[in-house]
């Protein structure tokens, strides 16, 4: 029994504080909704937090698919982390996430708070009952709309929503690589570890309870320094035809995704504690093998950290208005109601994990390009005020093996949060947003730097779309007028930005409006090299592929001037910019021209701007 009880009411309640939940909560608040985010642990970030320390991967597949890195709120968070946390310490990343949530106006955060019960009213969720361990407080949180970002689909299942576990039979969706017969197998959980070079020999004594592994046992699990094709964090995967095999490095300092269990247990959720204990025996057994059996080059390495919170890959999926399937993924399908995208390969781990040592740990099904995810996958088909964000969205098992990664979950979370706020604004259900306001949702997402393949800026309020664009200089592959072509990144080799000549002197981009207009806001989208990764990672080889600090292409110092008849009537100056999307507000005076003058970048010798919007 709680010592104290409290109640609160919000427009939108997000349950789950992983990357998807964080992006959903921030997006909904920025669109004007009052938001609560309930997280049952002491930090945000889920699998990307310091508790688990998995790096955020997504559609660009460890930089093997150009220009496909996710943007929007996730990009904002990762760029801030690069600026303030150049050595990618995960506890500092925890702070960046905490700051983003706690300083966002309109968001109330409940950390260390577990959802214990769901209050239903004629098939709708009216509220949730939660217990905050740290304050011995029971909270009853009531809301209009609810977002399940729990990973397990816990809120949805407690509310009576249909869910799925395991693989569908091949015939259900005619998926070419699904099993002939449906099963309940899942991908397993993993505990990560970190080792550091102490500069002198370090002894390791194997705990008596740890497992023993021989080189023969681990012949299909790479654990030496070599380049190999890997799945979501390091280690060998089964060879598969097709380009864009995941480029990754094996390593001895951190890992391994293949220390994995739970996929063939009776219930991966109910047995979570047992799985964690079994994983600890595996982690320490693998490290004993690396340290004490054979020459793995780790004489000076010391085991510094082993996680106590396993990272889940798979459990339940909630059923939505549409179930994304393998054929959609392989076809790079563009849905009319697309609100997010993915590009990670279909990456299916063996259910037995490290208990299945006679096979590769994962089968990777590669495909070119990316696919979109329809809004209907984020809307419950059973509970009309429930939405989903993260790995529990509505997909088949095969499609899930691609959509489950955190970069894809993040952009889906932003889409769901934005849609929830629209539903509040219009007094409608999430389903009605898809039926009546989908174009507005898509345009709002793109305005906030979310990429939707196959879609472009059609915002009628954007005065830049009809402006005459010129520049003090431009390169042949970066004409000035491309800043208003509606696409804010390069796509399939097509350059969609302005590139100036040398920045030895300031370079200016000018947008001449077709008539005098009141300008209250200018939005600029800069280049942050979306072909390469910027996420924190324990794995040295992943960090070494990144620039330390901010991307060199990013504009650093610039000013925006509003002119009327050639005279400056308003100006904003920015020094030390660290973000891709910059939103500059003005007092709203009349002008007929907007000039952006770039003075420096973070290392590039030319100015680059992908998009200019004027409101």
**Are 262 and 189 a contacting pair, CB within 8 Å?**
yes
Whole-angstrom distance, CA of residue 183 vs CA of residue 534: 37
Q: What is the pLDDT of residue 484?
A: 98
Q: What is the pLDDT of residue 250?
A: 58
pLDDT tens track for 342-369: 999 999 999 999 999 998 999 999 999 9
Look over the chain and give the mean of its residue pLDDT values, rounded to a whole number.
94
**Are 608 and 499 a contacting pair, CB within 8 Å?**
yes
Average pLDDT over residues 460-465: 98
Return the bridge partners of 254, or none. 194
CA atoms within 13 A of residue 262's CA, in its CB half-sphere: 29
Q: What is the pLDDT of residue 228?
A: 36
CA atoms within 13 A of residue 470's CA, in its CB half-sphere: 5
| Alpha-helical segments (H) within 239-323 | 272-292
Output the 3-class SS for 539-567.
CHHHHHCCCCCCCCCCEEEEEEEEEECCE
Q: What is the pLDDT of residue 232?
A: 53
pLDDT > 90? residue 191: yes
pLDDT tens track for 122-163: 999 999 999 999 999 999 999 999 999 999 999 999 999 999
Question: Is beta strand 4-15 parallel, antiparallel or unpaired with respect to 137-148?
Answer: parallel
pLDDT tens track for 551-598: 999 999 999 999 999 999 999 999 999 999 999 999 988 999 999 999
pLDDT > 60? residue 519: yes
- Which one, of 249, 243, 259, 237, lies nearest residue 348 by Cα? 237
Whole-angstrom distance, CA of residue 418 vs CA of residue 509: 31
553, burial (CB in 10 Å: exposed 0-12, middle 13-18, buried 19+)? buried
Return the bridge partners of 104, or none. none
- How does residue 231 score in pLDDT terms, banded at 50, 70 and 90? very low
pLDDT > 90? residue 1: no
- C-alpha distance from residue 217 to each of 27, 222, 355 (Å): 47, 11, 10
Q: What is the 8-class DSSP label of residue 291?
A: H
Return the bridge partners of 341, or none. 372
Whole-angstrom distance, CA of residue 120 vs CA of residue 274: 32
- How does residue 99 score in pLDDT terms, banded at 50, 70 and 90? very high
pLDDT tens track for 485-509: 999 999 999 999 999 999 999 999 9
Q: Say which residue the tokens 């991908």 belong to.
A: 187
Q: Is the dihedral of CA 551, 552, 557, 559 positive or negative?
A: negative
Q: What is the pLDDT of residue 245?
A: 46
pLDDT > 90? residue 222: no
Return the bridge partners of 132, or none. 113, 137
**Are 281 and 264 a contacting pair, CB within 8 Å?**
no
* Topology classification of domain 4-163+317-328+374-448: FAD/NAD(P)-binding domain (3.50.50)
Q: What is the pLDDT of residue 538?
A: 93
Q: What is the pLDDT of residue 252?
A: 83
**Per-domain residue ranges of the chain:** 4-163+317-328+374-448, 189-312, 463-614
Output the 3-class SS for 341-379.
EECCCEEEECCCHHHCCCCCCEEEECCCCCEEEEHHHHE
Q: What is the pLDDT of residue 237?
A: 45
171, burial (CB in 10 Å: exposed 0-12, middle 13-18, buried 19+)? exposed
pLDDT > 80? residue 242: no
Domains 4-163+317-328+374-448 and 463-614 share a fold: no
DSSP 3-state of 130: strand
pLDDT > 70? residue 400: yes
Q: What is the pLDDT of residue 540?
A: 86
Biggest CA-to-CA distance, the chain: 82
Pair of tokens at residue 516 = 């005098």
Cβ neighbors of 192 (< 8 A, separation 6 or more) are 52, 53, 54, 233, 254, 255, 256, 306, 307, 311, 538
Pair of tokens at residue 140 = 């009853």
Give the Cβ contact number of residue 135 at 10 Å: 15
**Are 161 and 318 a contacting pair, CB within 8 Å?**
yes
> Using a CB cutoff of 8 Å and minimum separation of 24, what contacts does 358-361 make?
358/220, 359/220, 359/238, 360/220, 360/236, 360/237, 360/238, 361/220, 361/221, 361/231, 361/235, 361/236, 361/237, 361/257, 361/258, 361/260
Q: What is the pLDDT of residue 235?
A: 38
Average pLDDT over residues 101-114: 98
Q: Is the dihedral of CA 19, 263, 372, 338 positive or negative?
A: negative
What is the CATH code for 463-614?
A: 2.60.120.260
pLDDT tens track for 12-28: 999 999 999 999 999 99
Q: What is the 8-class DSSP label of residue 419?
A: H
- How does residue 225 score in pLDDT terms, banded at 50, 70 and 90? low
Average pLDDT over residues 77-89: 96
Q: What is the pLDDT of residue 253?
A: 85
DSSP 3-state of 277: helix
Residues in the chain: 615
Pair of tokens at residue 179 = 């099993």
Q: Is the dihedral of CA 536, 538, 543, 548 positive or negative?
A: positive
């Amino acid at each position: 029994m709680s010592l104290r009880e409290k109640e609160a009411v919000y427009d939108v309640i997000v349950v789950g504080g992983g990357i998807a939940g964080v992006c959903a909560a921030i997006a909904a608040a920025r669109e004007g909704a009052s938001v609560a985010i309930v997280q049952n642990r002491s930090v945000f970030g889920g699998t990307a937090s310091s508790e688990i320390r998995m790096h955020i991967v997504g559609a660009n597949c460890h930089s093997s698919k150009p220009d496909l890195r996710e943007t929007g709120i996730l990009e904002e968070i990762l760029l801030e982390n690069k600026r303030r946390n150049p050595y990618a310490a995960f506890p500092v990343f925890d702070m960046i996430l905490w700051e983003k949530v706690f300083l966002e106006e309109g968001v109330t955060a409940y950390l260390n708070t577990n959802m214990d019960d769901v209050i239903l009213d004629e098939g709708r969720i009216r509220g949730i009952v939660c217990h905050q361990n740290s304050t011995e407080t029971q909270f009853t949180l009531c809301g209009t709309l609810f977002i399940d970002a729990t990973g397990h689909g816990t809120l949805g299942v407690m509310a009576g929503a249909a869910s799925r576990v395991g693989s569908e039979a091949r015939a259900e969706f005619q998926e070419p690589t699904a099993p002939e017969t449906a099963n309940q197998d899942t991908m397993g959980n993993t505990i990560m570890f970190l080792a550091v070079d102490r500069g002198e020999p370090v002894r390791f004594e194997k705990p008596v309870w740890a497992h023993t592994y021989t080189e023969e046992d681990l012949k299909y699990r790479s654990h030496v320094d070599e380049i190999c094709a890997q799945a979501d964090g390091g280690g060998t995967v089964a060879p598969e035809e097709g380009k864009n095999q995941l480029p990754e490095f094996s390593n001895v300092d951190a890992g391994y995704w293949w220390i994995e269990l739970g996929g063939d247990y009776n219930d991966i959720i109910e047995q979570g504690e047992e799985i964690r204990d079994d994983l600890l025996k595996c982690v320490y057994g693998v490290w004993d093998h690396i340290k004490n059996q054979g020459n793995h080059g780790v004489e000076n390495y010391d085991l510094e950290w082993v996680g106590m919170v396993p990272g889940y890959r798979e459990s339940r999926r909630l059923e939505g208005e549409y179930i994304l399937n393998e054929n959609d993924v392989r076809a790079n399908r563009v849905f009319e109601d697309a609100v997010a995208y993915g590009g990670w390969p279909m990456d299916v781990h063996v259910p037995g994990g490290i208990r299945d040592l006679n096979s590769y740990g994962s089968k990777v099904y590669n495909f070119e390009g990316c696919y979109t995810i329809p809004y209907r996958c984020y809307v419950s088909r059973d509970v009309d005020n429930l939405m989903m964000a993260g790995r529990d969205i509505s997909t088949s098992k095969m499609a899930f093996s691609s959509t489950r990664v955190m970069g894809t979950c993040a952009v889906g979370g932003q889409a769901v949060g934005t849609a929830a706020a629209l539903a509040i604004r219009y007094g409608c259900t999430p389903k009605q947003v898809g039926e009546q306001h989908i174009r507005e949702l898509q345009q709002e997402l793109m305005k906030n730097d979310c990429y939707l393949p196959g879609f472009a800026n059609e915002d009628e309020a954007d005065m830049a779309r009809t402006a005459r664009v010129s520049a003090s200089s431009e390169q042949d592959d970066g004409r000035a007028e491309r800043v208003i072509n509606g696409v804010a990144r390069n796509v399939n080799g097509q350059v969609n930005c302005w590139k100036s000549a040398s920045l030895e002197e300031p370079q200016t981009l000018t947008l001449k409006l077709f008539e005098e207009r009141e300008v209250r806001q200018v939005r600029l989208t800069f280049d942050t090299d979306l072909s390469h990764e910027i996420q924190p990672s324990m794995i040295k080889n992943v960090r070494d592929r990144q620039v330390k600090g901010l991307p060199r292409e990013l504009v650093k110092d610039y000013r925006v001037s509003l002119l009327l008849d050639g005279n400056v009537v308003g100006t904003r100056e920015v020094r030390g910019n660290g973000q891709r999307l910059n939103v500059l507000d003005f007092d709203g005076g009349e002008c007929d021209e907007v000039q952006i003058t770039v003075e420096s970048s973070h290392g590039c010798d030319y100015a680059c701007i992908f998009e200019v919007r004027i409101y």
